[in-house]
Structure 1
C-alpha cells in the first residue's frame, strides 16, 4: 500500500512540474519579439581653446551599418574614418587625413639637471 501511495505522489509531482503547462497565475510568460535594429545618431565637439575637435555619426538599419568619425590629431591633421558593416561581411573602414602634419620648432635647448656631490 505504501508503494502505491509513493508512486501516486511521484506521478502527481511529475505532472505538476511539466514545462508545457501554463503558469498557475493565469497568463503565459511573454515571448520575446525580434525587431531589427534601426537607429541614427551623431555628435560633435569643437572647443578651440582646448584644441578638441572630434565627432561621430552612425546609422543602422537591420544588418547594415554605416558611419564615420573624425578627430583633430596633435600634429594638426584631421583624421577621418568612414566605415560600413553589411551583415556578416565584417568592418570595412577607409581612413583619410586632411591637412599636412606640422611640428613646432624646438623653443629652447636641453639643459641638463644640476649634479650635486
Structure 2
C-alpha cells in the first residue's frame, strides 16, 4: 500500500515539476481602453391602439372613394391594363391582358358589400398556335450492308 502512495506521489511531483512552455514572439498587445460612452436607452413607445387579437378589424372611418386607370402597350407584345372605381363598399372595375396565343382576355368585376367578388371573363380574337415540328431525339443506327 505504501508503495502505491509513493508511486502516486512521484507522479504528482513529476507533473508539477515539468518545465512550462515558453513562448518566443511578440508580446500580446495591451488592451485598448475607450472613453466611456453614455447612451440613453431608447424610449419604449406603446402603440396608439393595443393589438386586438381575435376581433374583427375596425370599420373604416369614412367611405373609401377612389378611381384609377392604367395601361401598357409596347412593340414587344405587352398589352395590358386595369381600371377601377370604388365608392364605399361598392367597387367596379376591369382589367385586360394580351395572351401569348394572340387573344385578348378581359375580366370585368363587381364587388358589392357582402356579395363578394363577381367576375365575368371574355376572350376576343382567335387563338393561333405556330406549327410545331419536333426533331427526333434519337438517330437510327447506321446500316451496313
Structure 1 residue ranges (4+ consecutive) displaced by more than 6 angstroms after TM superposition: none
Q: How does 1:21-100 map to 2 (within 5 A)?
A: 34-48=61-75, 50-100=76-126
Determine the structure 1 residue equivalent to 2:137: 112
Larger Rg belongs to? 2
Ranked by relative contact order (alpha carbons within 8 Å, sequence separation 6 or more), the top structure is: 1
Question: Normalization by structure 2: what TM-score?
Answer: 0.52
Determine the structure 1 residue equivalent to 2:128: 102
Q: Secondary structure at the match of 1:88?
A: helix
Determine the structure 2 residue equivalent to 1:11: none
Distance change in 2, residues 1:109/1:34 (3 Å) = closer
Q: Secondary structure at the match of 2:114?
A: coil
CA distance in 2, matches of 1:60, 1:90: 14
Deviations 1:19-57 (A, max 9, x none): xxxxxxxxxxxxxx8111000001000012x21000000
Q: Secondary structure at the match of 1:40?
A: strand
Greater share of strand residues, 1 or 2? 1
Structure 2 alignment gaps of length 5 or more? 1-59, 140-145
Q: Secondary structure at the match of 2:115?
A: coil
Distance change in 2, residues 1:109/1:54 (3 Å) = same
CA distance in 1, matches of 2:61, 2:137: 67
Matched positions, count: 80
Question: Normalization by structure 1: what TM-score?
Answer: 0.63
